[in-house]
């Protein structure tokens, strides 16, 4: 056992610190195709003081720190390529307070979104942000996750009212307050959300929650072509219909859904839609939407009238990445994540579809199209260098296209290591500002080093 | 003429650089009670390159830089206490592009909110953020302004999709992109919005705009007591009614409104309300709200049925600060700006009302109560030391109360110099993080120095 591991055990006890091979292997990877790499030691804090102690002990050994939630990230965010300590937050999973009158909840970072929603239901509340995986809220804040409801309720960053963060030197700060808005000081909430563990470790989150809508209507609209489906989305958004969810699932992806989730949805390019509101307003929105999708050749608009069928629909959508993984044993998932302005969406998706067709992969396109965010999913053999190269070429073509359209290389998955190479191209001299901030807050580059931005001097732009 | 002024004139010409006494006096103050102080020179750039040149020339003279929009700030933000260059952005007032399909607009920083809305009307769009003053959008972004519609459409920070910023060393960066969401890199949009000119000068803003709602209904609900009015607001919010505006105007403030705006509103604690939506949904929301306010003893719910009366209502609300100023010639406005969690709003406003009653001032309370944000307005004689001391005591009592309730010292006006003294109390060690960021991006402390946070070494927390 290394001196670092011994020092951590001496302080925290053997229950909270391990070098067990299974634990090291579990913390060596995420759900992506990126190459695994083991940490030196894994720590399981149960409170803020534990996290502070781990960080301070690691500092005395000049050891790097990696935050680990449930390992559901898709760009290698939590992989400890430089060894050091992987801090696993799964034991910090208490819902500390539900402040229902303020529409706020305070949680530890290891609480998952499903666990939170289970609890919130008792109060008639829900937490909207829903990446496919049942991720931890700490991880979701670290990557600025979003999902199917962001078109209506916003992304993770919009929900974070306050964070408790332990910085690289062990200082504990609070980034916000409990008021609905503030113009006091720099926007640290916004800075730390999406910082991917590079600026500090989250130990407590206060999040906005929302009332469960009075009425919910969900449905599937099937189209003749992908183009028609995308054109219909753009029309719905531009008409100002306050849609709560609008998800694109292309033909190959519907096939995966049906195979994995035991559904029998019509195998056509499809929009999964949901409306939230009061009864009268919603009726008008739905009627208007039906007229509108008909204009784009919608062949069938199937309502999911009961709660079970509605839940099934969204479960099938959330499991789509797993459906791809399940369909190709031994292969690893690579998923693009660009986001473009709505006016560019139709052309961008057409370009992506053509790029997939030209590639050696089958591939599917799905997306949170209400935000202009879509994913190409392909399954690759990590042992096949040609496939990896072809996959990288596809990914690059799609990212370059999105950036040329005024978009971003990652709408919701984050940079990790997978999107590092696009940061100069996307941000230009602004990357230098990010590097200055990183250097100011983590001068030794020990917090999830070499993720999100290059921090080595020679890479400073 | 100083060497700095000469150097600026040599580069930009005499049209764009002045030391005219009237110009210096105009740039020595804002709309607040804070002591004026003249800049050394005023520059009027017309493009980004001008701003870059001004900043670089100022740097070579180690001179400070102050951004000035229309001088409507309320906490001394733009007052050049250290001399230097006041950059007046009023000549950079072009609306560069309306991207109606993306619900985006790109503007220069000197465009005012009214100017923008005038243009957007042609496209069926509007920009929601509406501080009382017809401020510039650059200034509104710098202070993270909000207003009456934030409860529905969000604050200034929520509207900023991209900024062009000239940094302290003349580097030009872009802080965002045109996509609806991004997880790429640190959230520079959020960091620069609300930075009050301390990190750089904004030269271009890309902002979200919104479709003019299908239906709008506005009205006034008068109550017997302030307590009843606030309790009604809390009930409306907790019922999840998607109200677009809900403004509290207390009894003394209704008197000021009637005197200044030539209205005859019933002199009672009143809520100004507005609903946006489709016809059917809105009808249901309004009916529900009427029932709800009746439960809190609402004595009269007066709808403003035609557009003119509705516009009059909001114009009267927007002019309220000027109504106070007009009522007390020779006196200066001091206005508090705390924001508290909704569950604390009723108690906080009761505490504020009692504090005003105990003070030597008449004072009124108004607020964007849907956000938990309220203002106490008092008129003070800047030459009377006793009054200033009493005003400061009142302000402090209200801020301390808000912070104790988990709130913030400023909901929308910003820190400037007026709220500086509360920053340690509000942010604790997080203020050190803000100072590190400031130091990293403006190591010479020349961008609006000594505003928003203390940057002198001895003050670092």
Yes or no, beta carbons of A437 and B409 under 8 Å apart: no
Is B329-422 in CATH node 3.30.70.260?
no
pLDDT at B101 over 60: yes
Report CA torsion sign: B165, B168, B169, B175. Answer: negative
A101 has a pLDDT exceeding 50: yes
A5-9, A302-306, B121-125, B375-379: segment of lowest average pLDDT = A302-306
Q: Is the predicted pLDDT of residue B460 greater than 50, yes or no?
A: no
**CATH code linked to domain A93-211:** 3.30.465.10
Count of A-B CB contacts under 8 Å: 291
Mutate to test the interface with B, among A182, A244, A427 (most CBs of B within 10 A): A182
Question: Could you give the angle at which helices B320-327 and B307-318 cross, rounded to 10 degrees?
Answer: 60
**Partner-chain contact B177 A452, CB within 8 Å:** no
**Residue pLDDT, tens place only, B148-197:** 999 999 999 999 999 999 999 999 999 999 999 999 999 999 999 999 99
What per-residue confidence (pLDDT) applies to B456?
Answer: 53
Assess whether pLDDT exceeds 80 at residue A461: no
Domain A328-422 in the same topology as domain A93-211: no
- pLDDT, residue A278, reads 93
Q: How large is the C-alpha radius of gyration of chain B? A: 22
Q: Do B102 and A342 touch (CB under 8 A)?
A: yes
B346 contacts on A by Cβ (under 8 Å): none
Query: Which chain A residues are Cβ-neighbours of B174 within 8 angstroms?
Result: 427-428, 430
How far is A65 from A68, CA to CA, in rounded Å? 10
Q: What is the pLDDT of residues A230-251, one digit of tens each?
A: 999 999 998 999 999 999 999 9
**Which pLDDT does position A454 carry in this prediction?**
73
**Distance between the two ends of chain A, CA-based, in angstroms?**
40
- Encoding tokens for residue B186? 């640190």
- Separation CA B75–CA B412 (nearest Å): 11
The CATH number corresponding to B92-211 among 1.10.10.10, 3.90.1150.10, 3.30.465.10, 3.40.50.300 equals 3.30.465.10
Residue A456: pLDDT band (50, 70, 90) is low
Structure tokens at B102: 């993306």
**Mean of all residue pLDDT scores within chain B:** 95
- Confidence at residue A375, expressed as pLDDT on a 0 to 100 scale: 97
Tens-digit pLDDT profile for residues A425-449: 999 999 999 999 999 999 999 999 9
Q: Residue B304: its pLDDT value, please?
A: 87
Flag whether pLDDT at A300 surpasses 90: no
8 A C-beta contact, residue B68 and residue B37: no
CATH topology of domain A215-321: Alpha-Beta Plaits (3.30.70)
DSSP A42: E
B contacts of A183 (beta carbons < 8 Å): 143-146, 194, 337, 408, 410-415
Is the domain spanning A3-90 CATH 3.30.43.10? The answer is: yes
Q: What percent of chain A clears pLDDT 90, i.e. is strictly above it? A: 95
pLDDT of B142 reads 98
- Mean pLDDT in residue range A345-354: 96
Q: Degrees (nearest 5) of the Cα angle B454, A457, A396?
A: 110
Structure tokens at A217: 């209507």
pLDDT for the residue numbered A458: 45
Residue-wise pLDDT for A25-80, tens only, equals: 999 999 988 999 999 999 999 999 999 999 999 999 999 999 999 999 999 999 99
In angstroms, rounded to a whole number, what is the distance separating the alpha carbons of residues B450 and B45?
Answer: 24
Query: How confident is the model at residue B455, as a pLDDT?
Result: 56
Domain ranges within chain B, ordered by starting residue: 3-90, 92-211, 215-321, 329-422
String of DSSP letters for B326-380: HHSTT-EEEE-B-B--GGGHHHHHHHHHHHHHHSS---EEEEEGGGTEEEEEEEE
pLDDT at A455 over 60: no
Beta-carbon separation of B172 and A429 below 8 A: yes
Is residue A293 helix, strand or coil? Answer: helix
| A103 with B195: Cβ contact below 8 A | no
Average pLDDT of span A155-161: 98
Fold of A328-422: Alpha-Beta Plaits (3.30.70)
Close Cβ partners of A171 (under 8 Å, ≥ 6 residues apart): B429, B432
DSSP helix, strand, coil percent of chain B (3-state; round to 5): 40, 20, 40
List of residues 6+ apart from B406 with CB closer than 8 A: A177, A178, A179, B340, B341, B344
Mean pLDDT of chain A: 95
Q: Find, among A324, A350, A346, the residue nearest to A335 by Cα.
A: A324
Number of H helices, E strands in chain A: 17, 18
């Amino acid at each position: 056992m290394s001196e670092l591991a011994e020092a951590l055990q001496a302080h925290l006890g053997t229950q909270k610190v391990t070098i067990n091979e299974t634990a090291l292997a579990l913390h060596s990877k995420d759900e992506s195709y990126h190459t695994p790499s083991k940490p030196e030691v894994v720590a399981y804090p149960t409170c803020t003081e534990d996290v502070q102690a781990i960080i301070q002990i690691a500092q005395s050994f000049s050891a790097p720190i990696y935050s680990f939630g449930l390992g559901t990230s898709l760009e290698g965010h939590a992989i400890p390529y430089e060894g050091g300590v992987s801090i696993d937050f799964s034991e910090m999973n208490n819902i500390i307070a539900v402040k229902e009158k303020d529409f706020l909840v305070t949680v530890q970072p290891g609480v998952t979104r499903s666990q939170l929603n289970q609890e919130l239901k008792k109060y008639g509340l829900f937490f909207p942000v829903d990446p496919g995986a049942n991720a931890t809220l700490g991880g979701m804040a670290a990557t600025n996750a979003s999902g199917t409801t962001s078109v209506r309720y916003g992304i993770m960053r919009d929900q974070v009212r306050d964070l408790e963060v332990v910085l690289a030197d062990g200082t504990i700060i609070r980034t916000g307050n409990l008021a609905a808005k503030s113009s006091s000081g720099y926007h640290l909430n916004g800075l730390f959300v999406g910082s991917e563990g590079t600026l500090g470790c989250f130990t407590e989150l206060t999040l906005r929650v929302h009332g469960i809508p009075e009425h919910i209507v969900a449905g599937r609209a099937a189209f003749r072509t992908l183009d028609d489906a995308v054109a219909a989305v753009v029309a719905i958004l531009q008409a100002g219909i306050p849609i709560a969810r609008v998800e694109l699932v292309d033909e190959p992806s519907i096939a995966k859904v049906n195979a994995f989730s035991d559904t029998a949805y019509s195998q056509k390019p499809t929009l999964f839609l949901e409306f939230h509101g009061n009864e009268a307003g919603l009726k008008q929105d739905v009627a208007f939407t039906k007229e509108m999708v008909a204009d784009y050749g919608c062949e069938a608009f199937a309502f999911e009238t009961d709660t079970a069928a509605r839940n099934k629909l969204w479960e099938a959508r959330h499991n789509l990445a797993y459906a791809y993984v399940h369909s190709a044993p031994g292969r690893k998932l690579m998923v693009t994540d660009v986001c473009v302005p709505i006016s560019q969406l139709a052309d961008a998706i057409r370009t992506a579809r053509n790029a997939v067709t030209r590639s050696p992969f089958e591939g599917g396109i799905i997306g949170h199209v209400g935000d202009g965010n879509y994913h190409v999913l392909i399954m690759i053999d990590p042992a096949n260098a040609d496939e990896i190269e072809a996959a990288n070429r596809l990914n690059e073509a799609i990212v370059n296209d999105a950036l040329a359209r005024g978009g971003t290389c990652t709408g919701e998955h984050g940079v990790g290591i997978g999107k590092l190479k696009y940061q100069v191209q996307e941000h230009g001299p602004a990357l230098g500002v990010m590097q200055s901030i990183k250097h100011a807050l983590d001068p030794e580059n020990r917090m999830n080093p070499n993720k999100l931005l290059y921090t080595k001097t020679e890479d400073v732009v």
